[in-house]
Structure 1
């Protein structure tokens, strides 16, 4: 069965619905711009040229960077998009996240949500991407995720800056009665070189506001870039270095109350018996409020200070009932094994060639089989979940470190029986996000604000609550088999992965009346979408509901499938007597960008030379979020345990917009991946999370971090994302290095089940 045939049948309905949606709404509806949200509350001396640019007569230039800043530097790069075309320096502008608005919908994130690999440029793939992009605009979902922020803003935000510059130039031309073509711009001024006259943007702003925005907005050639392509100082550097209040937990307001929540530790269960008497007597406690939402059930505590709320939460006594889901990790493993036991279940996300025939007559000596598994994982953000809310005069205002502001407004309004238009969401910076910053903490803050008599309430979770009530990275399990030819190359590869559906879990929490249908590509993400040329190649995904809330975690399905996929390919290399790097070279030879990163990282690490005695290296490759990465990890055997000594990474991102931010994200992603691979897991006992804080859910410590060497390439034809790129390969490369060092193939994470780390 051809891949095209499989994809066509599976996605025709989805693609048809998307296209039909455009027809049903009308071409005009789909193409028309959303209203400019900056016009609300605009000062008399300010001009909002479009949703991304605001200029005041006092020369204040404000750029809206409408994606969540959680340390990845996105505010700097998005601001540089606008500043590049507006022709201003970054130190001349203020950068704000801006209001929650459908004008800031994320098309790029939705376009790559379909089942087609990034490298698939077939007509069907491109039509589906365009259709999904249309749906993204119609839905107006403003979201940060999928390493999509730069890809989404690259054209749109540069056009916003260019349009404003054109309008300002035209205003200067009319004022000085000189053709617009005779002007240039630089550093916030319109300049007429012949006469020596200069007019600032602020002086022109009001006049420019009366000019019709251009319909044709040409963008500058890359050779003309002044900011993009170069490392820039981060726009939030000064605030963070001086301790300015930028995070959600920093929010303050007059007459503020404080609070926290104690939600049922047994997911989805309501308490069957409750005793609040001890909690209610804690000095400073004002009120304890029952909470019931699509995220769960429990209590919110209103108090005069956070510490009183925390203490009261710990004194709530309740019978939380019994779980109706696998109550411990053994039961979770059994459920996943059961899901894998039916070979006809699930959906084929890739089905090239004739896998069944190739395995039916395969000699035993040329067959390889393996089973891999990963546990649930928490996000472990340094800043725990928090939000501040105020309900007064029928209007709700929410200050929250969130990744989905339009959804936050919608669901908070729904929780209080309000109209979404009556909710204002202010998105703060956040101390880590990694996909966790959903809506639950904002809903709880809104519910407590409803009980606060018009006073603002800052609701901060305890670390214990944050870990126990996470929306976890799914546990997953996979079975894999390969047939090798006489040269050791795989001629058939069959992969079956079972995991909970992230999309199904998210929909249960956000829109429970809608049941998602069809396959969930996140279950096989990182397996079905890799550019390996194997003639007979099948990847199936099976939805295995575990009852535990799961969600997006840095690199999503790739966080476990790259470990599965690259670990099994390493096994293929060993069984076939092929060098692991050479095996990848041969399998990705059709893709220059892939071959480029494989060759580059091998050169960087001097792969052809064996490591020193007591050391070993592991290799992994992936196409992730539109970028290509190859990684080598070198580890050493020490008396205290295994130590990660050095990591080499070569990444091809197509266009390197800010090399320093890209390198920082590659290192950050690797540390995040190492942390999960070495020690992290969430375990259940009687349906409750056993971990509670960093003492039993720890991250890699500074003394454990290796040195890093990073190469950033720009050979790929399309620009890719960076924020999640290196997390998956770091896990796989480390696991493969452990095998190379110890001879033990660890097929279940964390690696500390089998080996100790220094």
Structure 2
């Protein structure tokens, strides 16, 4: 741990000196570790060595604070600790832990900085160090941005190693042997004669010992868990229907609630008449909440039915209410006073385009998209005797704790948040609106547990969607090569919208507007990427892969168009221009996997796309057939570079899931608005890929990078452009707007 701390502190001092002209602010606070929340209520004989490991006479408990949203976060965090602690995961308890500054995320803030993942300059290192400082000083406990593994890779291994070495020291004190004579194995310290002392038997002695500060992490060649194929810790529960989600919870005396709020997000409730609803069977109360009403009943179905019976008069939506006019506002935003960023500006694009014999031009569009997790928003709340308990799934536990405390008129330490596994999120549980509603109900009905559940329709139409956007590309080719690439995109700011909902300002440019486009590792001679910020309209939020989800489509569709205009092979041209060795190897791998360049036959085509997002180079090749009845997606090949594949099975699952997610939304999905209200209110109108449409997917993980990366999001951005490029290769039809089903059918 000493070495880890030294590196982190050095990075902080360098970063603060560079950023603030030599004033090293907050050095003392940064050096001081946050309090260990597990130490607050330790009982006799219980030991905790750090915020991630607790042991008593009965069990070993591992704390996995990054939220599990279906992506396997609890499992990989547990394996990181277990590798160094030397325990088998079927013998331990895994818990998410409480909201606490100790569980800060020191990596995710860097995603909001204009730092290219491929850069190792002093400025880049300084920026990443500053992001770590911000995360720690703010106690930024947040799950997102594929940051769980990068942020926790070393911290959790160190935590396990500290616990292991302290337990060895406890065994040495108990037996009178030298610590160097002892070793660990599967949850026990082993003496030279083979006698095993279980960790649980050493808890009382270890509780009296100062945790070992300096540890040596095990060589990966010695790993038993990491890098090996194994079963996720939740797979049995999820395969047998025994996993407990928030929607499954039940308490004695519990009542059930649901809500209806203005279909125009943020709009007011002007009046309501609840007489019919209040007379319905099982209804206990109809209550006003911010922007709408809540119905409390003796079961969820009756609450749903009664909520529909309440006659509400809604105020107007506080934004442009029709999709056509929303897109018009986006189109009008390509003007100087709305320019938000130009992080990429190589050469002289304007001069090259003016001198070009022919300029290639194209415009692309993407729609709003809902998160639509399978488990709709829900929470169980109980307010009693100055204590508020909340059971729910969330990616922002400390923000949620603070907002709930404000609504209930309590201090944060009076709010006890019990974080549960979520049935999907894709960024939706970075919001706390559903818990705010539940707490408003609890304040009006204290001393009884209330389960608040949104209907599917309420969930879909009251989502904060992925923003719509338009991109305009202008380029030139020369001598059979891409010579100039000018891409501009306009979109509302996700960052400003999200931060505004938690009362925080958004400072500077929003990197999300151009993420997945400005930082691509290609040495195009004249290369420019510009972001324009559209004034706020529908409140928007982070959606799986955030800005890269749409910008990958923009960048790689236009790249393909330029390659075809130049008469050059799209893979060969990317390889020629690629300046980043790990990205080059990813492109080479996907080309080899897919047999790129071989003849597929008439009516078939391959499409290639590459996106570097969240530090991960990911390339995909999609093969399609034009069947006459529609497009069939036959096979998809995916290669990605994450530095080290810690869980090969889940790595493949995450990339395959990202492909299905990206393709399904590109094929079929959009949210449109009329009168301020979302028009798609259930899965029949927001249809992902069907099982019979799912292609064969081949995945390859590369390990050539110098940093550990996460894989939950990078599989999404290349999917849509690879499909679009494949459709063009098979049919000659270039589609520049999503979803594709507006122009082609799929079978």
Shorter-chain TM-score tier: over 0.9
String of CA shifts for 1:410-445, please: whole Å, max 9, x gaps. 111112222111111111111111000121111111
Equivalent residue number for residue 6 of structure 1? none
Equivalent residue number for residue 546 of structure 2? 556
Q: Structure 2: which 5+ residue stretches go unaligned?
A: 1-14
Q: Structure 1: which 5+ residue stretches go unaligned?
A: 1-14
String of CA shifts for 1:384-431, please: whole Å, max 9, x gaps. 011111111111111011111111101111122221111111111111
Equivalent residue number for residue 3 of structure 2? none
Pairing partner for 1:608 from 597, 609, 614? 597
Q: Check the 8 A contact 1:95/1:235 in 2, yes or no.
A: no
The whole-number CA distance in structure 2 between the counterparts of 1:524 and 1:199 is 56
Pairing partner for 1:586 from 576, 580, 584? 576
Q: After superposition, where does 1:245-644 map in structure 2 within 5 Å? A: 245-292=243-290, 297-342=291-336, 345-363=339-357, 365=358, 367-437=359-429, 438-487=431-480, 489-511=481-503, 514-588=504-578, 590-644=579-633
String of CA shifts for 1:354-407, please: whole Å, max 9, x gaps. 2222223222x2x21111110000011000011111111111111011111111
The whole-number CA distance in structure 2 between the counterparts of 1:277 and 1:24 is 63
Q: Check the 8 A contact 1:169/1:190 in 2, yes or no.
A: yes
Aligned residues: 732
String of CA shifts for 1:464-507, please: whole Å, max 9, x gaps. 000100010000011111122222x2222211111010011112
Q: Check the 8 A contact 2:16/2:22 in 1, yes or no.
A: no
String of CA shifts for 1:655-683, please: whole Å, max 9, x gaps. 00000000000000111001110010001
Equivalent residue number for residue 7 of structure 1? none
Other structure's SS at 2:681 match:
coil
Over the residues paired in the alignment, what is the CA RMSD in angstroms?
A: 1.7
534-543 or 377-386: bigger deviation: 534-543
Equivalent residue number for residue 30 of structure 2? 30
Shift of 1:88: 1.0
Taking structure 1 as reference, are residues 739 and 591 closer, same or farther at Cα in structure 2, changes over 3 Å only? same
Other structure's SS at 2:618 match:
strand
Pairing partner for 1:217 from 195, 215, 218? 215
Shift of 1:20: 5.1
Q: After superposition, where does 1:77-116 map in structure 2 within 5 Å? A: 77-116=76-115
The whole-number CA distance in structure 1 between the counterparts of 2:128 and 2:588 is 31
Shift of 1:343: 8.0
The whole-number CA distance in structure 2 between the counterparts of 1:632 and 1:39 is 51
Other structure's SS at 2:269 match:
coil
Equivalent residue number for residue 137 of structure 2? 138
The whole-number CA distance in structure 1 between the counterparts of 2:697 and 2:109 is 33
Q: Check the 8 A contact 1:388/1:458 in 2, yes or no.
A: yes
Equivalent residue number for residue 687 of structure 1? 676
Asked if 1:747 is matched to 2:736, the reply is yes
Taking structure 1 as reference, are residues 411 and 20 closer, same or farther at Cα in structure 2, changes over 3 Å only? farther
String of CA shifts for 1:519-576, please: whole Å, max 9, x gaps. 1000000111111111322111111024211001000001000000000000011100
Q: Check the 8 A contact 1:332/1:546 in 2, yes or no.
A: no
Shift of 1:196: 3.0
- State the TM-score, normalized to the length of structure 2: 0.96
The whole-number CA distance in structure 2 between the counterparts of 1:304 and 1:43 is 39
The whole-number CA distance in structure 2 between the counterparts of 1:422 and 1:273 is 34
Shift of 1:245: 4.4
Asked if 1:656 is matched to 2:645, the reply is yes
Other structure's SS at 1:578 match:
coil
Q: Check the 8 A contact 2:338/2:533 in 1, yes or no.
A: no
The whole-number CA distance in structure 2 between the counterparts of 1:221 and 1:112 is 30
Q: Check the 8 A contact 2:153/2:708 in 1, yes or no.
A: no
Shift of 1:24: 7.2
Other structure's SS at 1:629 match:
strand
Equivalent residue number for residue 48 of structure 1? 48
The whole-number CA distance in structure 2 between the counterparts of 1:240 and 1:603 is 36
Q: After superposition, where does 1:669-748 map in structure 2 within 5 Å? A: 669-748=658-737
